[in-house]
C-alpha cells in the first residue's frame, strides 16, 4: 500500500509523517513518534488507555486512522506541563494519591484536563461518566475523581 504524507502537530510540535492507509493514530504516536505515555492494550476501543486529545477533544487513538488527523493537533500528557512544571491537576493527582500506574494515569489525567478546560462547575457524577471510558481493574476511581474535583475548586 502506498504511503501518504500527513502533517500532525503533537504537543505543539509539527511533524510530517508518511502513513499507510490502514495505520492508526495510535501506531503513529507509539511507533513513529515514540510517545511513551500513550498505551496500547486492546487495540479495539475497549480499554481507553490510548486516549489522547485531538483539537482538545478526548479520543481513543486506536480507533482513528492516521490519515484522518492530517492538519490536526494532538495533546498527550507530555504536553500538559510547561518547562517541567506540573499542572494543578497533576499536583492534585499526587496530593490525592491518584497516581496509580503508568498505563492508566496518563489517560485519566487527560480526561481530567479536558473536563477542567470546559470551565464549568463539575460534579462527581459527570466526572464519573467521562471516566467510564477508561478501564482500570486494579483499584478504585475515588481518588481520581477527588483529584479532578479538588483541581476544579482551585482554578
Contact residues: ligand FES, CB under 6 A: 40-43, 45-50, 60, 62, 100-101, 103-104, 136, 138-139
Q: Rounded to the nearest whole angstrom, what is the least distance from the CB of residue 27 to ligand FES in the complex? A: 11
Nearest CA to 93 out of 153, 138, 144, 37 is that of 144
- Kindly give, in sequence order, each residue whose CB lies less than 8 Å from that of residue 59, ignoring residues fewer than 6 positions away: 25, 51, 52, 53
Least distance in angstroms from the C-beta of 34 to ligand FES: 17
* Residue with smaller CB distance to ligand FES, 42 or 94: 42
User: How is residue 116 written as a grid cell?
Assistant: 477542567
For ligand FES, the closer CB: 26 or 155: 26
**Minimum distance between the CB of residue 43 and ligand FES, rounded to whole angstroms?**
5
Closest contact distance (angstroms) between CB of 121 and ligand FES is 28
Given a contact cutoff of 8 angstroms between Cβ atoms, the answer to whether 17 and 31 are in contact is no
**Cell triple for 110:** 487527560
Going 89 to 95 to 96 to 100, the CA torsion angle's sign is: positive
Distance CA 143, CA 93 (A): 8
Report, in Å, the least distance between residue 63 CB and ligand FES: 7
Closest CB to ligand FES among 10 and 50?
Answer: 50
Three-state secondary structure string covering 14-26: EEEEEECCCCEHH
| Nearest residue (CB) to ligand FES, 57 versus 155 | 57
Our CB check for ligand FES shows the closer of 5 and 94 to be 94
Amino acid at each position: 500500500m502506498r504511503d501518504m504524507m500527513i502533517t500532525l502537530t503533537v504537543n505543539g510540535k509539527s511533524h510530517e509523517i508518511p502513513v499507510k492507509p490502514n495505520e492508526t493514530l495510535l501506531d503513529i504516536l507509539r511507533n513513529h513518534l515514540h510517545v511513551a505515555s500513550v498505551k496500547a492494550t486492546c487495540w479495539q476501543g475497549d480499554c481507553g488507555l490510548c486516549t489522547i486529545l485531538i483539537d482538545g477533544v478526548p479520543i481513543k487513538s486506536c480507533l482513528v486512522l492516521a490519515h484522518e488527523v492530517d492538519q490536526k493537533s494532538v495533546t498527550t500528557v507530555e504536553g500538559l506541563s510547561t518547562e517541567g512544571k506540573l499542572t494543578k491537576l497533576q499536583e492534585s493527582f499526587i496530593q490525592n494519591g491518584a497516581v496509580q500506574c503508568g498505563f492508566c494515569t496518563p489517560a485519566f489525567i487527560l480526561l481530567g484536563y479536558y473536563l477542567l478546560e470546559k470551565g464549568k462547575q463539575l460534579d462527581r457524577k459527570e466526572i464519573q461518566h467521562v471516566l467510564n471510558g477508561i478501564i482500570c481493574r486494579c483499584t478504585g476511581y475515588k481518588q481520581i475523581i477527588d483529584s479532578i474535583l479538588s483541581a476544579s475548586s482551585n482554578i
